[in-house]
């Protein structure tokens, strides 16, 4: 049996691959790359920033609470300071007055840092898209976004799925310089 | 040498300095920014800065039809979404003099009270968390999920429902609704004793909440602080009693009043209100009449030209909707008198000469929802 989600295989949910590998081979020594170890560690302890502007924040709280329990995915400790956080879940509308604050929060976070845009407002401006003078139409105008979660507000399950997608993304990272970094250095 | 070391400490105690609390701060429950003037640890002045989540809902209402306005009011005070919807629905129905079926009135009242319980439970969770009791957070949200399950079964959404429409409801309730509500009431009566055991009698909690942020009855009336915060100061301001709407005339319930006016009184009022809400639901749940779940309205609603005002008791206090219509399909002007905005006004006065840690407790006891302030 397994969780059935279209476009995501059950094997992708197995986050502790090294243990499974041990079980399969029966050995006691395992060779791996530094990349794999670091990515495994990073992807399984993502600390989010306590950042919520509106309704989606309540669903984020519900995800962290008893029933849905964020902690199963290692996204456990809500940090109040951006300097200790790995991921910023932009939960709620970002209006023009808030945008510089969000940018500063993002800049204060230490690398590696990730952004999840949670809810219709953070993705595109949501219900406040038309006939308005105040809303940032999508938080990606201000900071780069890794995962988009649609919904108004998204269900806690949707947020969990989004976090899993982020974990998959982290697992593909390398500590070597990426092409993007090289470009930045050359400039 | 000694003087040089002592100088900064002295100057901190003597001189006033400012601290920015927010806009990103966990205990302001959102993006409220408080510029706090301090002398040492003593709060001298609190200046709230609003607008970090100003979404222009009032302006957007001028472009929307009356059915579309409903979904914007959800997002104002998202913890009592049903009650916000109720205010607009009552305003439109009152202006058009539409009689909604008795079934709708009963269901709306039950859902309002369920929403009030959910809101107070979440408030209790975050209040406990602000004062350092993380267990409250897990207990409160665990029981709140039971209400959300009931909501979800009937109309598919957890937080923002948009279930009420002018003239009735979006669809009929689920056949299981009554049984599940009764189950929940039974469950919650047991759990609320746990709440009291964890927090209400806890000596650390009592030390931090009693005689903190005392608001006299005069002060509450002067600042218009109503809802549970005002009733903690002894001001009888329950809209459900004073200007009954929906089915509140048919039920018996007490208006919870405390006279101390401190943070603990506001806490106890809300705890008692959860029980009163359960009493109201119990009186109604078995008597939901049969009938239609809505009356037929015109697809485009046009209110007759004029001014209208409708008030309801939301989980935070009086929610007033003021509407000027010029006879078109959209209102000419829509104004919301939101309880959080009014309650924020008194924060400066009651937190003066308190410690900065008490400011967190006082702010939490006023139960501010920031998008409700900024709209």
Residues B88/B70, Cβ–Cβ less than 8 Å = yes
Task: Check residue A15 and give its pLDDT.
Answer: 57
Is B1 contained in some domain? Answer: no
DSSP string, B32-88: -EEEEEEETTEEEEEEEE--TT---HHHHHTTS-HHHHHHHHHTTSGGGHHHHHHHH
Indicate the number of domains in chain B.
1
Interface test with B, best of A78, A81, A97 (most B CBs within 10 A): A97
Is B351 contained in some domain? Answer: yes
Is B363 contained in some domain? Answer: yes
Kindly determine whether residue B55 and residue A155, on different chains, have CB atoms separated by under 8 Å: no
What is this structure's pTM? 0.87
**What is the spatial distance between Cα B154 and Cα B149, in angstroms, rounded to a whole number?**
9
Q: Across chain B, how many H-helices and E-strands are there? A: 16, 8
Q: Which chain A residues are within 8 Å of B32, Cβ to Cβ?
A: none
- Residue A185 burial (CB count, 10 A): 7
Yes or no: is domain A34-168 CATH 3.90.1150.10? Answer: no
pLDDT score of B1 more than 60: no
Of B71, B350, B114, B106, nearest in space to B232 by CA: B350
Residue pLDDT, tens place only, A126-169: 888 887 888 888 888 888 888 999 988 898 999 998 988 888 88
The H or E element containing residue A89 is: strand A87-91
CATH number at residue B82: 1.10.645.10
Residue pLDDT, tens place only, B135-163: 888 898 899 999 999 998 888 888 888 88
Is B323 contained in some domain? Answer: yes
- ipTM over 0.90? The verdict is no
Is B3 contained in some domain? Answer: no
Residue pLDDT, tens place only, B254-305: 888 888 888 999 999 999 999 999 999 999 888 888 888 888 888 888 888 8
Show the domain range for B345.
Answer: 10-374
Is B78 contained in some domain? Answer: yes
Q: Which chain B residues are within 8 Å of A57, Cβ to Cβ?
A: 30
Residues B344/B213, Cβ–Cβ less than 8 Å = no
Q: Which chain A residues are within 8 Å of B53, Cβ to Cβ?
A: 53-54, 92-93, 95, 98
């Amino acid at each position: 049996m397994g969780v059935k989600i279209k476009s995501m295989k059950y094997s992708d949910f197995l986050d502790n691959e090294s243990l499974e590998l041990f079980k399969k081979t029966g050995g006691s020594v395992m060779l791996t790359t530094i990349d794999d170890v670091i990515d495994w560690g990073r992807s399984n302890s993502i600390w989010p920033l306590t950042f919520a502007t509106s309704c989606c924040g309540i669903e984020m709280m519900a995800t962290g609470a008893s029933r849905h329990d964020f902690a199963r995915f290692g996204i456990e400790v809500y940090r109040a300071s951006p300097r200790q956080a790995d991921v910023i879940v932009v939960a709620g509308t970002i209006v023009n007055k808030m945008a510089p604050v969000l940018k500063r929060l993002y800049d204060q976070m230490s690398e590696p840092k990730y952004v999840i845009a949670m809810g219709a407002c953070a993705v595109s401006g949501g219900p406040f898209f038309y006939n308005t003078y105040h809303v940032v139409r999508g938080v990606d105008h201000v900071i780069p976004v890794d995962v988009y979660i649609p919904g108004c507000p998204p269900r806690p399950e949707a947020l969990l799925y989004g976090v899993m997608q982020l974990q998959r993304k982290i697992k593909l990272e390398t500590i070597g310089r990426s092409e993007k970094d090289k470009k930045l250095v050359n400039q | 040498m000694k003087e040089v070391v002592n100088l900064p400490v002295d100057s901190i105690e003597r001189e006033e300095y400012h601290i920015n609390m927010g806009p990103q701060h966990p205990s302001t429950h959102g993006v409220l920014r408080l510029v706090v003037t301090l002398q040492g640890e003593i709060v001298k002045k609190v200046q709230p800065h609003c607008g970090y989540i100003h979404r222009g809902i009032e302006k957007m209402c001028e472009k929307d039809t009356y059915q579309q306005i409903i979904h914007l009011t959800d997002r104002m005070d998202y913890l009592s979404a049903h009650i916000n919807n109720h205010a607009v629905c009552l305003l439109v129905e009152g202006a058009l003099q539409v009689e909604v079926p008795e079934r709708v009135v009963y269901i709306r009242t039950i859902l309002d009270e369920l929403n009030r319980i959910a809101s107070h439970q979440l408030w209790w969770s975050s209040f406990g968390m602000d004062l350092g009791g993380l267990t409250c957070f897990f207990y409160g949200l665990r029981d709140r999920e039971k209400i959300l399950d009931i909501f979800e079964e009937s109309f598919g959404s957890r937080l923002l429902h948009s279930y009420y429409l002018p003239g009735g409801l979006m669809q009929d309730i689920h056949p299981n609704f009554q049984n599940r509500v009764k189950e929940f009431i039974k469950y919650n009566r047991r759990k609320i004793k746990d709440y009291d055991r964890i927090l209400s009698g806890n000596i650390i909690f009592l030390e931090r909440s009693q005689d903190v942020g005392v608001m006299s009855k005069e002060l509450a009336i002067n600042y218009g602080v109503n809802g549970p915060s005002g009733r903690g100061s002894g001001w009888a301001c329950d809209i459900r009693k004073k200007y009954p709407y929906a089915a509140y005339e048919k039920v018996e319930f007490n208006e919870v009043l405390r006279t101390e006016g401190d943070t603990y009184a506001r806490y106890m009022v809300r705890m008692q209100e959860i029980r009163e809400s359960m009493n109201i639901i119990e009186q109604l749940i078995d008597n939901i009449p049969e009938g239609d779940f809505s009356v037929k309205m015109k697809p485009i609603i046009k209110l007759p030209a004029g001014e209208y005002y409708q008030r309801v008791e939301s989980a935070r206090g009086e929610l007033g909707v003021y509407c000027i219509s010029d006879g078109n399909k959209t209102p000419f002007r829509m104004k919301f008198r939101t309880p959080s905005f009014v309650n924020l006004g008194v924060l400066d006065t009651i937190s003066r000469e308190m410690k900065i840690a008490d400011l967190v407790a006082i702010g939490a006891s006023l139960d501010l929802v920031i998008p409700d302030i900024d709209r």
